[in-house]
Amino acid sequence: METIIDKTEALVASTYARQPVVFERGRGAMLWDTEGRRYIDFLAGIAVCALGHSHPALQQTLAQQAGRLVHVCNLYYTVPQVELAAWLVEHSFADRVFFCNSGAEANEAAIKLARKVFQDRGQTNRFRIVAMEQSFHGRTMGSLSATGQDKIKQGFYPVLEGFDFVPFDDIEALRAAVDDSVCAVMLEPIQGEGGIICPADDYLRQVRALCDERGALLILDEIQTGMGRTGRLFAHEHSGITPDIMTLAKALGNGLPIGAMLAREAAAQAFGAGAHGTTFGGTPLITAGALAVVQTLEKENLVAQAAETGRYFRDQLEALTQRHDIITAVRGQGLMLGLKLTCEGAPIVDQCLEHGFVINCVQGDVLRFVPPLIIGRHDIDALIQCLDEIL
Ligand code: PLP
């Protein structure tokens, strides 16, 4: 009989290199496969399931909302959409929110909004966006064009015109690149797919100051860093600055397909009726679910917990570094952590899976740990012991 894996490989587009496991259910930070084996989840669907799996608040809200109203489209108003927008505005720098379905789409919205702000002012030549080498902003054509990794763009050239790249964490390179043809600077506060790269402490402040000086908008992609992952609700809060535009997805829905672009009014007003849109953006089902997610994040104090657990996790990873020369650095902040290795990480990821731990690897040689924010110290201890033995 054909297995699930064989069938998937035969029938589903082969765009993912998958691990040989079929997950069936999850609870908290635990996952179970179809053979009944239990795993501790240190990936959380790539920084998505911040509350863990099968959280009762999300289950109940979705069941209730599914029985009331799933979809009507954006030609009408609904209560959950505005309630989620109100929560996001109240907890951020932003005045308005555009809802969509994924991170890539949130970045598309940000790119379009940045261009339109200047085109509305008659500055039609001011459309360039300076983004970062090694960045990742998504796979759609616009977000791909903003992505600073050639290997991800291979086979899809030509990408959109108007994107320039400078090294991340190099303010002088950025200063040289931002002239009056640039509408926005776009970056992740910590590069996730690029290898968990944290910039110097004052980098974001300098980027903000440069954008102000040159009149360019600052777009922060907080799709991976946002919603408490780094120990603050949004990673830019560590720097004491705010962007003009911010994109969110991933943990905002804890697994529900939702993206959001948040903006200050001065920028947001460029999106008038008909300027942008999507059928599924902000449906009652998904926004009711996401509202339950953010309220739970708040109620269970998970952002502070991420900061505290993240410090503990980091200390354990540092201790591991002392014992194994194969590790050259511990990277990241809060519960977005990485171990840079002198060798390929894939065999270690495979062995962790065999031992019941879900982790992954970015850029070939960086082990990435982005667990649910509820992860316990005993789970961390168990992973560290496993890594100690494998390394
Ligand atoms: N931006 C960042 C920083 C990401 O990490 C990701 C996904 O990994 C994206 C954008 C794209 O999000 P999505 O896969 O939801 O389109």
Q: Tens digits of per-residue pLDDT, 264-297?
A: 999 999 999 999 999 999 999 999 999 999 999 9
pLDDT of residue 24: 98
CA of 185 to the centre of ligand 1 (A): 17
Task: Using alpha carbons, list the distances in angstroms from residue 129 to 148, 174, 224, 295, 342.
Answer: 12, 11, 21, 34, 34
**Does 153 participate in catalysis according to the annotation?**
no
**Does 112 participate in catalysis according to the annotation?**
no
CA of 136 to the centre of ligand 1 (A): 7
Task: Using alpha carbons, list the distances in angstroms from residue 259 to 184, 262, 389.
Answer: 20, 10, 39
Name the DSSP class of 199. P
**Mean pLDDT confidence for 135-164:** 98
Secondary-structure percent of the chain, ordered helix, strand, coil, rounded to 5 = 40, 20, 40
What is the distance between the alpha carbons of residues 128 and 222, in angstroms, rounded to a whole number? 21
pLDDT, averaged across the chain: 98
Active-site residue (options: 116, 250, 313, 357):
250
Quick check: 325 pLDDT over 70? yes
Count the neighbouring beta carbons within 10 Å of the beta carbon of residue 301: 12
In 3-state terms, what secondary structure has residue 319? Answer: helix
Q: Percent of the chain, pLDDT > 90?
A: 99
**Mean pLDDT confidence for 93-97:** 98
**Does 250 participate in catalysis according to the annotation?**
yes
At 2, is the pLDDT very low, low, confident or very high (cuts 50, 70, 90)?
Answer: low
Bond preceding residue 158 cis, omega within 30 of 0? yes
Backbone φ and ψ for 211, nearest 5 degrees, come out as -60, -40
Active-site residue (options: 221, 244, 365, 379):
221
**Strand (E) positions, the chain?**
23-27, 30-33, 38-41, 96-100, 128-132, 163-166, 182-187, 217-221, 245-248, 259-263, 327-333, 336-341, 357-358, 360-362, 366-369
pLDDT of residue 27: 98
Q: pLDDT tens digit string along 229-270?
A: 999 999 999 999 999 999 999 999 999 999 999 999 999 999
What are the counts of helices (DSSP H) followed by strands (DSSP E) for the chain?
14, 15
What is the distance between the alpha carbons of residues 147 and 209, in angstroms, rounded to a whole number? 23
Quick check: 38 pLDDT over 60? yes
Ligand 1 pocket, residues with Cβ under 6 angstroms: 46, 102-104, 107, 136-138, 188, 192-193, 221, 223-224, 249
pLDDT of residue 1: 47
Alpha carbons within 13 A on the beta-carbon side of 137: 35
Q: Side chain identity at 158, as an amino acid letter? A: P
pLDDT of residue 132: 98
CA of 319 to the centre of ligand 1 (A): 31
Pocket probe mutation, ligand 1, options 135, 224, 247, max atoms within 8 Å of Cβ? 224
pLDDT of residue 31: 98
**Mean pLDDT confidence for 126-141:** 98
In 3-state terms, what secondary structure has residue 258? Answer: coil
In 3-state terms, what secondary structure has residue 295? Answer: helix
Q: Percent of the chain, pLDDT > 70?
A: 99
Model-wide pTM > 0.85: yes
Spell out a b/e string for 313-325, using b for 16 or more CB atoms within 10 Å of the CB, else e: bbebbeebbeeee
Query: Which ligand 1 atom minimizes the distance to the CA of 225?
Result: 3
Query: Which ligand 1 atom minimizes the distance to the CA of 46?
Result: 8
At 186, is the pLDDT very low, low, confident or very high (cuts 50, 70, 90)?
Answer: very high
Count the neighbouring beta carbons within 10 Å of the beta carbon of residue 33: 16
Quick check: 54 pLDDT over 90? yes
Count the neighbouring beta carbons within 10 Å of the beta carbon of residue 13: 5
Q: Which residues contact 385 (CB under 8 A, 6 or more apart)?
A: none
CA of 353 to the centre of ligand 1 (A): 24
Q: pLDDT tens digit string along 69-83?
A: 999 999 999 999 999
Could you tell me if 93 and 264 are in contact, meaning their C-beta atoms sit under 8 angstroms apart? yes
Query: Which ligand 1 atom minimizes the distance to the CA of 135?
Result: 3
What is the distance between the alpha carbons of residues 238 and 230, in angstroms, rounded to a whole number? 9
Pocket probe mutation, ligand 1, options 140, 250, 254, 366, max atoms within 8 Å of Cβ? 250
**Mean pLDDT confidence for 151-169:** 98
